[in-house]
Structure 1
Amino acid sequence: MFNIKVNPRKAKQNQDLQSLSKEELIDRVQQLESHVIQLRNLLKPKSVPDKHEMKQKAFDHKKYAKRHVLLQVAYVGWDYAGFVVQEHTEKTIEAEVFKALEKTRLLESRETSNYHRCGRTDKGVSSFGQAISIDLRSNLSEGKGVFIPDGHQAKVGNTVEIDYVGILNKVLPPEIRMIAWAPINQSLSARFDCRQRTYHYYFPKANLNIERMRVASQSLIGEHDFRNLCKMDVGNGVIKFDRRIMDIQIEAIDDDKTNSYSMIRLKLIGQAFLWHQVRCIVAILFLIGQGKEETTIIQELLDVERNPRKPQYGMASEIPLNLFTCTYSDDDCQWIYDAESLRYVISGYQTLWAENSIKATMIKEMLNSLEGLLDDKIESQLKGLVYGVEPKTYLPLMERQKCESLEERIHVYAKRQRIEVIETDANCP
């Protein structure tokens, strides 16, 4: 018996374009367009620094110790291309965070900052509890997480630490805010030491049977192979899809639980999540809530022995998704909140809330007037929350065309030289 080990690697630069599929050609064109944008940015004339910038002395980080900390980062990600820095755009949360860190002289460089992120949220996804671990400049000479690198000297006698949260919030875009910070041991990683991650997904009740969704969702709890409830990222070496869901709750946020406009929150708690796992789960629960699928469909999708190939279906939208909390051991992490910084964050987010709430209220008033002209009830609030064209006649999931199995996908990627497959004896360590 053999295990399969997958090592992702870049395709050959001189790969024959005629051998590529339509999807691969599109991907190649997009890559080339990204490189063009990069080159244009490089060729842009650099602005002439003003007199103040020319006179400004270079900051000497060697006069300070460093401190390994966790930062809780909140962001409304609707207008961003995801959290992680990308080559083709600067419009990412991570790019803005590092701009702020560099502007405030809190770190020398990303490469030397011992940086880890907890979650890798995609384009349009938001977060209240994203966490990053990083080495920052410190005013102290001792304390949890404080260390003095070779060639550095600490500020002796200081007892007050830098106001990391307050300083960063003054230079970050209004959609991105630091909520808290915590001193941590140098070995702690925001990604690998996270105990659990909690996602929230918000949606209107519309015509959904929430109780059916609750019943079906209980099948997700526990450890399962979620290959049929995610997007398989084989091209990046992901071939194991076992994940553990600790809890799932579907509750009404509004007092009026019968109104089709009332908002519902799905709360999903797990140790780690696969690419698009939450959005795939929500899409299936929507089908169950609409009565298009039985509550047992989730059990069928989790049975990868009987159903090794994922049926084709559209994912739920990214806009309602929020990485709400990243949880760490109390021994590892004690968050520090500052009242003044919290007031600043609340005030800013109240402005964002007011702008969006006004828009929602205006549209709701228009809908009230329109609906008063009809005798029948229209409940189409979910239409924009699931990708894909809605067919006139619904085709049950298990009767639909299936995607490639994991084994087939590994074979295809290996044949296209996107990955390298190494067969190893299962008995060998």
Structure 2
Amino acid sequence: MLAKLVDGYYLYCSDLRTDLLATNGVSAWSCSNRVPSEVLEWFRLGRPFSGYQIEEIDSTLSLKIKNLPEIILKSAEPVKVIPTILTELSLRENKRELNAKQEAARIAKEAKRKEIFRTATLKNVALKVAYLGWKYDGLARQINTNDTIEEILLRACEKCALIYTARDYKITRCGRTDKGVSAFTQVISLYLRSKTAEGETDPEKDYDYVTLINNVLPPKVKLVAWAYVGLEFDARFQVLYRSYKYYFPKCDLDIELMRGSLERFVGTHNFRGFCKADRTLESQNFERTITYLAIDLVTEDRDDDKLSIYCITILGHAFLWHQIRNMVSLLFRIGLQLESPKVISSMLETGVKYNYGMASQIPLVLFDCEFENIDWNEGRIDLSQTWFESVVKTTLIKQLMSTELLSVKNIGVLCDTKQQSIMSRPFIT
């Protein structure tokens, strides 16, 4: 999180909110104490910081913010502080050079935006978002790419003047989906500009957030609904449950054998063998509870049963990193009779992780999540163009597969055969 102050100073707060750094490009300072709530509020709301000034004291060995005298930053090594802030700047600053007329227009636009947000009412709003994440780099913002769902959504809100700036804007999210994973009901919360007064919660008098934001979003990312939420609302920790679905063709899989294995996952278990450990955490709890697990037929192909589409539905409160994809991978191996269902119980009891490849991220969807006491205001979205393009592509590919020249003798290769290497399957990456 990066903030530009007056007099050429920059403040940087780490994502973990434990380090507060400052630099003027030559010297550097750091605050080892707990970051004050006022500073976190600046970063979170994306407000302009022109009213706060840095004052050097003790011959530049220390800094303090005049308006917040309790914040003292001590001298630090520039080689550690400056590169961090310069990296943030290089990823966020506009590199395009403007001529005098363009620069004047930019300054006027910025001044108008500051005036709007100086008196604006901001309210904590929950947004229900649906997206096909196949070509995106995941949900959460990253420093090495702008092609994430959060980045796209925040830039759309900035373009609609619902937030002051998309830079370093903090949001809470229901579930963090990885690269290539989709969501039908992703819930995030952030502070948006409102037409109504402080304390007033009448959706009819406020902006039509769904229509407004969807007008500037790409076709495969859409806002479905919005709702007012309290100041303490956190989409991650206040969710009652999350459900995921994983879609796949039947191929050579023994669906009944897979269904008979599901009950071994249900309940509270140690899923250490089915996840990737998060190295940013000093200690991690691998115990999770699965309340429901099923395999259902989605689309039946009467000409060739191997082309019928099924989905695995999994319901729980929280999941570990890559947990579902690893579970699906093992279920595929059981369905192909490469493993015994007893392996599930063994992995849950011992926590041992076998060297299985993960199931592909493409068929995985964050299907639903449930919260208490949220009155959603739903909007209408049009996905007809996306559907048309996709169904035509699917039909063309299926027709190509049925030609005599490119006939598929064994459709089971889509998942696995006993002759294949474990890492060669399209559904295992």
2:400 and 2:406 in contact (8 A); partners too:
no
Deviations 1:245-266 (A, max 9, x none): 1111110101347711111111
Q: Quote the residue 1:359 is aligned against.
A: 393
Counterpart among 128, 137, 144 of residue 81 in structure 1: 137
TM alignment of 1:15-414, pairs within 5 A: 39=90, 44-48=95-99, 49=102, 53=106, 55-56=108-109, 57-59=111-113, 60-109=116-165, 115-143=171-199, 160-256=205-301, 259-304=305-350, 308-329=351-372, 331=373, 333-338=374-379, 342=380, 345-346=381-382, 349-370=383-404, 377-382=410-415, 389-390=423-424
* Contact map agreement 1:219 1:298 (CA 8 A) in 2: yes
**Letter of the 2:187 counterpart:** A
Contact 2:130–2:221 (CA<8 Å) still a contact in 1? yes
Q: CA deviation at 1:82?
A: 0.8
Query: What is the CA-CA distance between 1:75 and the residue it aligns to?
Result: 0.9
Q: Which amino acid aligns with 1:189?
A: D
Taking a change above 3 Å as real, the CA distance of residues 55 and 140 of structure 1, as seen in their structure-2 partners, is same
Does the CA-based 8 Å contact 1:195-1:271 persist in structure 2? yes
Change beyond 3 A, Cα 1:163–1:43: closer
Shift of 1:234: 3.2
- Inter-CA distance 212–159: structure 2 relative to 1 (3 Å threshold): closer
Which residue identity does 2:413 align to in structure 1? S
Cα pair distance change 1:122/1:373, threshold 3 Å? closer
Structure 1 Cα separation of the partners of residues 345 and 187 of structure 2:
33
Amino acid of the structure 1 residue aligned with 2:376: W
The amino acid that maps onto 2:96 is P
Q: Which structure carries more strand by proportion?
A: 2
* Separation (CA, whole Å) in 2 of partners of 1:65 and 1:235: 36
| Cα distance in structure 2, aligned partners of 1:161 and 1:353 | 31
SS at 1:318 equivalent: coil
Change (3 A) 1:81 1:372: closer
What's the CA shift for 1:37?
A: 12
Q: Distance in 1 between matches of 2:254 and 2:89?
A: 48
Shift of 1:119: 1.0
The structure showing larger relative contact order (alpha-carbon pairs under 8 Å, at least 6 residues apart) is: 1
Aligned AA (1:368): S
Distance 1:245 1:382 in 2: 25
Verify the 8 A CA contact 2:293 2:314 in the aligned structure 1.
yes
Residue of structure 1 in register with 2:78 after alignment: none
Aligned-partner residue type, residue 172 of structure 1: L
Structure 1 residue identity aligned to 2:390: N
C-alpha distance in structure 1 between counterparts of 2:421 and 2:105, whole Å: 51
Structure 1 residue 232: Cα displacement: 1.7
Say how many residue pairs are matched. Answer: 336
Question: Contact (CA 8 Å) 1:66, 1:138: kept in 2 or not?
Answer: yes
Letter matched to residue 323 of structure 1: L
Give the match for residue 18 of structure 1.
Answer: none
In the TM superposition, residue 62 of structure 1 has moved relative to its aligned partner by 3.0
CA distance in 1 between counterparts of 2:412 and 2:399 reads: 16
CA distance in 2, matches of 1:362, 1:243: 42
Q: Report the equivalent of 2:26.
A: none
CA offset digits 1:207-260 (Å, max 9, x no partner): 111111111111111111100111122344352100111111110101347711
Q: Is the CA contact 1:241–1:274 (under 8 Å) kept in the aligned structure 2?
A: yes
How far apart are the structure 2 equivalents of 1:132 and 1:55?
32
Change (3 A) 1:287 1:388: closer
The alignment yields a C-alpha RMSD, in angstroms, of 3.2
- Partner of 1:25 in structure 2? none
Q: 1:327 to 1:159 in 2, by over 3 A?
A: closer
Change beyond 3 A, Cα 1:38–1:65: closer
In 1, Cα distance between the equivalents of 2:230 and 2:421? 43
Cα distance in 1 for residues equivalent to 2:330 and 2:147: 31
Partner of 1:400: none
State the SS of the aligned residue for 2:412.
coil
1:120 partner letter: R
Post-superposition offset of 1:183: 1.2
Tell me the TM-score normalized by structure 2.
Answer: 0.71
- Aligned equivalents of 1:387, 1:96: Cα separation in 2: 38
Maintained 8 Å contact 2:155/2:166:
no
The answer to whether the Cα contact below 8 Å between 1:145 and 1:185 also exists between their aligned partners in 2 is: no
Distance 1:300 1:210 in 2: 21
Identity, in percent, stands at 34
Q: Which runs of 5+ in 2 are unaligned?
A: 1-15, 20-82
